[in-house]
């Protein structure tokens, strides 16, 4: 299963997200959502090893995830202008990605009301230019490096 898993392919470098890896340690990797992305700073956080259920994570992975989620929320609020909320959503049920992965998504004031909360997955426009996503990815990477 891991060979066909999109998260595993990204973790292995087979699929490269826009701007490349934002953060990686011995347990977790963070990337921007693959193109096309309707929200600037839409991050995907996933364990390096293939895990399909949150309760299969080790205690070390869960503890590291909590700290990482806090760091990412802070980084998004610093880098993405006008962030009012940072969503943390885990479904891990898409056909090509049963791997545990958490969507960390900043919501700004100008975000359409009808696409707030879990309805954010219904938002498909606008598709952001790769150059804009790559710029934010670089800023997030730099911010996270300074935090450590």
Determine what percent of the chain is predicted with pLDDT higher than 70. Answer: 98
Average pLDDT over residues 51-66: 97
| Residues in contact with 11: Cβ distance below 8 Å, sequence separation at least 6, in sequence order | 29, 46, 48
Residue 50 has pLDDT above 70, yes or no: yes
C-beta atoms surrounding 13 within 10 Å: 9
Domain ranges of the chain: 2-147
Which CATH number fits the domain 2-147, given the four candidates 1.10.10.10, 3.30.390.10, 3.30.70.100, 3.30.428.10? 3.30.428.10
Q: What confidence tens digit (pLDDT) does each residue in 93-122 have?
A: 888 899 999 999 999 988 888 888 889 888
Q: What is the DSSP letter of 97?
A: B
75 phi and psi angles, rounded to 5 deg: -65, -45
First to last CA, the chain: 34
- Is the pTM for the entire model greater than 0.85? yes
Residue 74 has pLDDT above 70, yes or no: yes
CA 36 → CA 18, 19, 69, 127, 145, distances in Å? 9, 13, 23, 5, 26
């Amino acid at each position: 299963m891991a060979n066909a898993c999109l998260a595993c392919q990204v973790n292995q470098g087979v699929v490269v997200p826009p701007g490349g890896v934002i953060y990686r340690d011995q347990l977790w990797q963070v990337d921007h959502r693959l193109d096309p992305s309707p929200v600037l700073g839409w991050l995907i956080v996933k364990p390096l090893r293939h895990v399909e259920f949150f309760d299969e994570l080790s205690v070390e992975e869960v503890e590291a995830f909590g700290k990482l989620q806090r760091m990412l929320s802070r980084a998004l609020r610093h880098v993405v202008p006008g962030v009012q909320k940072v969503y943390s959503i885990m479904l891990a049920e898409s056909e090509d990605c049963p791997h545990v992965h958490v969507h960390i998504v900043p919501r700004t004031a100008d975000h359409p009301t009808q696409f707030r909360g879990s309805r954010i997955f219904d938002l498909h426009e606008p598709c952001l230019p790769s150059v804009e996503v790559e710029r934010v990815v670089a800023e997030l990477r730099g911010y996270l490096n300074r935090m450590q």
